[in-house]
Amino acid sequence: MNALTTTAANHITLPSDPMQLMVLAERLAMARLIPPHFQKSPADCWLVMSFCRSRNLDFLMVVGECSVVQGRLFFSGKLTAALLNTSGHLADRLRYDYEYKKAAGTGPIADRPDEVVAVTVSGRLNNEATPRTVRVALDQVKTGNKVWATQPEQQLAYAGARTWGRRHAPEVLMGLLFEGETIDITPTSAETVQAFSPRLAPKPAMDTSTDTSSVPMDTSTDTSSVPTPDIQKLSNELLTKMANEKTRNSTLPHEIVRQGDENEHWGAWASELMEYVRRAPDASTVNDWTIANADSMQAFEQRSEKGYAKLISQIKAELDTKGDE
């Protein structure tokens, strides 16, 4: 059914018709609340919305966990276990058992803190009595991201769930890419920051001889009994939810943590920084964001002069705009 509905859990059901979904994607792509890498790119929004519809996921909850790196869609690590646990393929939720060792030091062993060294992820598939397990060692997946030093167990859980899913439930993760993974693409340039404003996809020619605003897209069959979704209403509902979510999650300027030191991680970092810069209420807040991320910006300059120059140009443009305001 194409009618718009809202479940008891406040999960807005997206249109099932691809063309109606594209109309909604075109409207949402113009919203400033959409992450920068999806703004003015309705086709990319459509892909994420189609994914959410097929998996019965909330678009608002997923779009903020997506990034575009070298033309590929990446999902955050926290979505990996969520997809597996809600797939219907598992009899029980994934379980994580950590291995620890005493930290190196000069004091008595009893006084040294424990350091995690590995995690064993267990999951039992439907109709199987014995759980399937995967052991992932810290030194095999750890990156240079600072979050590995502050939250090693959490990062190991993300990596372990991803490895378990790739091995024992590939039909769930399929070709999806997640943070911490690399893609088999050799960059042709040192440029790592993608354009923050993709072009709008050209709209197909429409027959304007008659008013078709209330007629379903597919007229090959009798659809008189199928209500047409109120796209304007749905887009307003989604934008309202996103605005409320942004307000609740708004934070003061802080250091943005990368997921690694590869090109795609730097690109995601720069995109996230620019998203906060664009949402900053004034020029002073923009400066606070650059100060909080000064170390990473310096490292980015050493890694890619072109990428750094492009990032600075984007930030200066925002400073000029907010300074005039």
Confidence band of 1 (pLDDT split at 50, 70, 90): very low
| pLDDT confidence of residue 244 | 63
Q: Give the predicted TM-score (pTM) of the model.
A: 0.53
Q: What is the pLDDT of residues 187-205, one digit of tens each?
A: 444 444 443 444 444 445 5
pLDDT at 237 over 80: no
Q: Would you state the pLDDT for residue 284?
A: 81
Q: Is residue 184 predicted with pLDDT exceeding 50?
A: no
User: How large is the average pLDDT for residues 161-185?
Assistant: 81
Q: Which of 147, 159, 112 is nearest to 259 (CA)?
A: 147
Q: Where are the domains of the chain?
A: 82-172, 255-324
Task: Render pLDDT for 90-141 as a digit per residue (tens, 0 to 9).
Answer: 999 999 999 998 777 666 666 667 889 999 999 999 999 999 999 999 999 8
How many angstroms separate the Cα of 110 from the Cα of each of 101, 115, 323?
Answer: 11, 13, 57
Residues 227-253 have a mean pLDDT of 63
Tokens found for residue 126 = 């439907």
- The answer to whether the beta carbons of residues 118 and 101 sit under 8 Å apart is no
Asked whether 237 and 230 are in contact (CB, 8 A), the reply is no
Give helix 283-292 / helix 294-303 axis angle, nearest 10°: 70
Average pLDDT over residues 242-250: 56
Residue 215 pLDDT: 42
